[in-house]
Amino acid sequence: MSTSARTGVPVELPTAADTEALGERLADGLGAGDLVVLSGPLGAGKTVLVRGIARGLGVAGAVTSPTFVIAREHRPLPGGAGVPLVHVDAYRLGFATDVAAELDDLDLDTDLDSAVVVVEWGEGVAERLAARHLLVRLDRRDDDVREATVERVEGPR
């Protein structure tokens, strides 16, 4: 799991296209079994970032904000990285929820070990899926410009 974005250094994202491009760049360093945890307030651009990751991986299906579903699977397209994407929105899961158990209950067709798993609102709940993960914090400044900080987390904190 590597990233071309320098870790720990905030990146300015003036437009949604910039956020999507960051996701696309991050996808280059992602492979089967990798977990990406996204944090940041409502409307920060988490779903937009996932859209970029999906484009970078080359997976099928539109990335949208799941209103009722907790997780959506995107299968690999020919010519892509060959890895499915599982997009989880943990907003409706309580902080104490066992995300692994919730995902297990959903009985997804995709084996999480063979997929890139991206969890919105994952900070504090998704780390249990994999101690080693990429943490992307998205912030919305007062001037409405977004900032992203990418951090590689190697173990339990």
Ligand X SMILES: Nc1ncnc2c1ncn2[C@@H]1O[C@H](COP(=O)(O)OP(=O)(O)OP(=O)(O)O)[C@@H](O)[C@H]1O
Binding site for ligand X (CB under 6 A): 13-16, 18-19, 40, 42-48, 65, 120, 146
- For residues 44 and 141, is the Cβ–Cβ distance under 8 A? no
- What element of type H or E holds 72? strand 71-74
- Neighbouring C-alpha atoms within 13 Å toward the C-beta of 151: 16
Rounded-to-10 torsion of CA 150, 92, 98, 124: 30
Which residue is nearest to ligand X, using beta carbons? 45
Does 4 sit near Mg ion (CB under 5 A)?
Answer: no
Nearer to ligand X, 35 or 119 (CB): 119
Does 64 sit near Mg ion (CB under 5 A)?
Answer: no
Does 46 sit near Mg ion (CB under 5 A)?
Answer: yes
Residue 96's binding partner out of Mg ion, ligand X, none, with CB under 5 to 8 Å set by partner kind:
none
Q: Answer positive or negative: Cα dihedral of 125, 88, 103, 8.
A: negative
Q: How many helices (H) and strands (E) does the chain have?
A: 3, 7
- Binding window for Mg ion (CB under 5 A); candidates: 37-45, 118-126, 134-142, 148-156: 118-126
Nearer to Mg ion, 48 or 134 (CB): 48
Does 133 sit near Mg ion (CB under 5 A)?
Answer: no
Residue ranges in contact with Mg ion by CB under 5 A: 46-47, 65, 120
